[in-house]
Structure 1
Amino acid sequence: MGKPFIIGHRGASGERPEHTLAAYALAFDQGADFVEPDVVPTKDGHLVARHENEISGTTDVADHPEFAHRRTTRTIDGQTLTGWFTEDFTLAELSTLRARERLLQLRPANTAWKDEPIVTLDALIGYARERGRGVVAEIKHSSYFASIGLALEEKLVALFARHGWTRRTDPVWIESFEVANLKALRAASDLKLVQLLEEKGAPADGSAESYAAMATPAGLKAIAGYADAIGPAKALIVPRDADGRSLPPTRLVDDAHAAGLKVIPWTFRSENLFLPAELREGADPREHGRAADELRMFAAAGVDGLFTDFPGEAVTVFESSPRP
């Protein structure tokens, strides 16, 4: 069994509020090779790390009366949301907010971290370089942000270049659930690219009939024309039956490797709520089950890397195995 490289999903987000310096630092402390920021823009064009551009669930913005009038309703990628959006705030304004744990019921201990500021991508890249680690940046809602004059791609590449990361060999991946932006990035940059794949649905930019079609041998061959890897939902590799139990692996890993693509599935979480039924321990969805067995299952299937909320646990599982 080889050792997949380990990406701290939004940092060590199982143990600290996601997308905070505390979460990124802990991920690196625990041995993660990369951390993954979701990238969204501010009104004045800066790039920040937030799960979504709607920030009512991940910051204390609702506690700031000076921003009450900014609450609004928007439709983004077909989903109607009401709240506060990063594109309505300057970086200076966002800097007055503090991050909050998003999964309050599941991870109540993380609510102890209340003074974490919003992290800029610029600061995170600098920090990762200081630590000798890498960054896997997810572009959120590419078409939507381009439609309002806040396209992310050119600024993202320029920001990595400012920190000296421009080559395929640098510890950088750029990922997206859309397709057209990755194709444009391949023409404009030599950085590694990841085509993310949902279990269901299709890319928001209308560039493919479905994610299922993209996961076929023909679809994977097309992806290999512009990307270096796929980032599939775990269920595309190890499906589950109606009772939530693991089924035999699909051919996706082998087919992707045959097309010349690496495979980096998401997201590994240790709580019972997220584990297959046969690996849960007890009835409490918040308790940790046999997450190590799930990690080994995917490593045995041949994945090249993985996204996890608990990078320390993954490091422990794979520490005795050689890294590819």
Structure 2
Amino acid sequence: MLVIAHRGASGYRPEHTAAAYRLAAVQGADYLEPDLVATLDGILVCRHENELSGTTDVADHPVFADRRLTKVVDGTAVTGWFVEDFTYAELRTLRTRERMPALRAANTAYDGLEEIPTFDDVVALARAESARLGRLIGVLPEIKHPAYFRRLGLPLEELLTERIIALGLRPDEIMIQSFEPASLRRLSVMTGVPLVQLIGTGFVERRGLREISTYAQVLAPHKDLVVPRLADGRLGEPTRLVDEAHRAGLNVQAWTFRAERRFLPTATDFSTELTRFATLGLQAVFTDQPDQAAVVRDATLGVLETGA
């Protein structure tokens, strides 16, 4: 079971920073997960969404005050500052900060220290850490709001494909994920790398899984679709989704496992929750705490190998 560092080791450092990605590699992550959006001049940078005020100090820069706008992004009105309105040179003047300061107060000690990394930066970091640690660490980018960016003349699929070719990324170094099937279908004829279909809600029938398998190699469901939560917040019985996906020829990567109490099932700690999932045959899990997930992964592997 692979450990995917969700936005880096975001339980310990502000998300999508070099510090978060580097710590994730040290903690045992197999893949680093950068979310990708595009600047005005077509540079792919790592942010979970295209609005900047939640994770940077953009509001503290008077020079950019007039760029605060309200836009409709994928059907939702959002007010703030947007990546696509900044050149990469302008974006480099901003500094990152913790998204959830009330929950992850310790992470705020790193506010203001780092620039927004590019996709190229994360690839270089993954390769450097792979060489230093003596094991392969891949990247698993998610392209965010691809239809929205395509309408702006910033097609993320093409921009990412260009970087994959330019950087010489091998299929064992990268997988690409998206919620939008149309985006993955484009990528399936543009790249030769594994593709990951994200799903957040709803039941996926066998026919739907077979359809996904025509353009993607991996299904990545929200963890509640694998083991649902009951009305009292406890974990219920596993669904058949993992088995059905495997029958359709798809690997399964579940998201997102977080160690903070507010994200955990009732009367369950992180290790217990993840162990429950690890025994279901998942190929990977997304997590904000790669170190804790790696411990569970290794312990579960040991049990399976010894038959204990």
Paired amino acid for 2:104: R
Q: How does 1:79-94 map to 2 (within 5 A)?
A: 79-94=76-91
Distance across 2 between alignment mates of 1:101 and 1:261: 35
- Secondary structure at the residue paired with 2:8? coil
In the alignment, does 2:241 pair up with 1:252? Answer: yes
Paired amino acid for 1:196: L
The answer for the alignment partner of 1:123 in structure 2 is 121
Q: What does the per-residue CA deviation read over 1:51-75, in whole Å, with 9 as the maximum and x for residues that have no partner? A: 1100111000000000000000000
In the superposition, the TM-score normalised over structure 2's length comes to 0.94
Does structure 2 retain, via aligned residues, the 8 Å contact 1:38–1:49? yes
Paired amino acid for 2:227: V
The answer for the alignment partner of 1:162 in structure 2 is 166
Q: Which runs of 5+ in 1 are unaligned?
A: 200-210, 280-289
Q: What does the per-residue CA deviation read over 1:56-113, in whole Å, with 9 as the maximum and x for residues that have no partner? A: 1100000000000000000011111000000000000000000010011100100000
RMSD: 1.3
Paired amino acid for 1:311: P
Does structure 2 retain, via aligned residues, the 8 Å contact 1:38–1:138? yes
Does structure 2 retain, via aligned residues, the 8 Å contact 1:166–1:189? no
Paired amino acid for 1:239: P
Distance across 2 between alignment mates of 1:295 and 1:84: 37
In the alignment, does 2:17 pair up with 1:15? Answer: no
Q: Which runs of 5+ in 2 are unaligned?
A: 131-136
**Percentage identity across paired residues of the two chains:** 52
Does structure 1 retain, via aligned residues, the 8 Å contact 2:278–2:297? no
Q: What stretches of structure 1 move > 6 A for 4+ residues in a row?
A: none
Q: What does the per-residue CA deviation read over 1:158-190, in whole Å, with 9 as the maximum and x for residues that have no partner? A: 2122221143xx221100000111011111111
- Secondary structure at the residue paired with 2:197? strand
- Secondary structure at the residue paired with 1:264? strand
Deviation of 1:319 after TM superposition, in Å, equals: 2.2
More helix by share: 2
Match of 1:174 among 176, 179, 183: 176
Paired amino acid for 1:67: F
Does structure 2 retain, via aligned residues, the 8 Å contact 1:73–1:83? yes
Distance across 2 between alignment mates of 1:156 and 1:129: 18
Deviation of 1:316 after TM superposition, in Å, equals: 1.4
In the alignment, does 2:76 pair up with 1:102? Answer: no
Distance across 2 between alignment mates of 1:7 and 1:17: 16
The answer for the alignment partner of 2:147 in structure 1 is 143
Does structure 2 retain, via aligned residues, the 8 Å contact 1:234–1:266? yes
Deviation of 1:129 after TM superposition, in Å, equals: 1.3
The answer for the alignment partner of 2:211 in structure 1 is 222
> How many residues align structurally?
296
Match of 1:27 among 24, 28, 39: 24
Match of 1:56 among 39, 53, 56: 53
In the alignment, does 2:272 pair up with 1:311? Answer: no
Paired amino acid for 1:176: S
Distance across 1 between alignment mates of 2:163 and 2:23: 24
Deviation of 1:157 after TM superposition, in Å, equals: 1.6
In the superposition, the TM-score normalised over structure 1's length comes to 0.89
